[in-house]
Structure 1
Amino acid sequence: MRNDERYEIQRAFDLLPHVIGASWASVEFRMKGIKKPTREEFREKTLQYLKMVEPVFESYPQDEEFDAIRKYIDFRKNEEYEKIISGLNKEIEKRYDRYVDYG
């Protein structure tokens, strides 16, 4: 698969974790009055919300012509999940710091 064929999916996985996951997690903690969740709580909640969009990740047809992109999506999804839980997603860590500092 060429890079240009997966470019849009790459960009989506660069943005979705913090735009959806961390944003929704921040709102939930704010609404519950939790000003200082632990990093682990924040990461887990972020992942919980990101996983809610999994039907989109699985939306391409099971046709052979989509095999390569479906495999790439599955790889990137799992990679992003691991980065969130392990603290290696820098955007999620920034969002956590911002929330506990200004939440």
Structure 2
Amino acid sequence: MRNDQRFEIERAFDLLPHIVGSSWAVIWFRLNKIQKPTREEYRKKVLEYLKMMEPVFESYKTDENFSEIVKYINIRKQEEYEKISSGLNKEVEKRYERYIDYG
């Protein structure tokens, strides 16, 4: 698969963890008045909200023309989940620090 064919998916996976996952997680913690969640609690909540995007990630599975991009989406999705769980997603970690510092 050419780089230009997966560019938009790459950008989505670069942004979705902190734009969707972290944003929704922060709202959840604020509304539940949890000002100092642990990193693990925060990461789990980010993953919970990001995984709600699964229907979008699976939207191409029924079309054979999309088999290569479907493989790429599945690989990239798992990589992002692992990065979040292990603390290697720098944007998610940055959002955690900001929440802890400013609530």
Structure 1 unaligned spans of 5+: none
Shift of residue 85, structure 1, vs aligned partner: 0.2
Q: TM-score, normalised by structure 2?
A: 0.98
> CA–CA distance in 2 between the matches of 1:77 and 1:62?
18
Counterpart of 1:41 in structure 2 is: 41
Aligned to 2:7: 7
Equivalent position of 1:76 in the other structure: 76
**Mapped pair 1:93 → 2:76:** no
Q: Distance in 2 between matches of 1:61 and 1:30?
A: 36
Q: Deviations over 1:57-102 (max 9, x none)?
A: 0001423221100000000000000000000000000000000000
Partner of 2:64 in structure 1? Answer: 64
User: Normalising by structure 1, what TM-score?
Assistant: 0.98
- Alignment RMSD (CA, Å): 0.7
- Misfit runs of 4+, over 6 Å: none
Instruction: Provide the rounded CA distance (Å) in 1 between the counterparts of 2:17 and 2:94.
Output: 12
Write the distance in 2 (CA, Å) between the matches of 1:53 and 1:63: 19
SS at match of 2:84: helix
Mapped to 2, the partners of 1:72 and 1:62 lie a distance apart of: 15
Alignment length (residue pairs) = 103
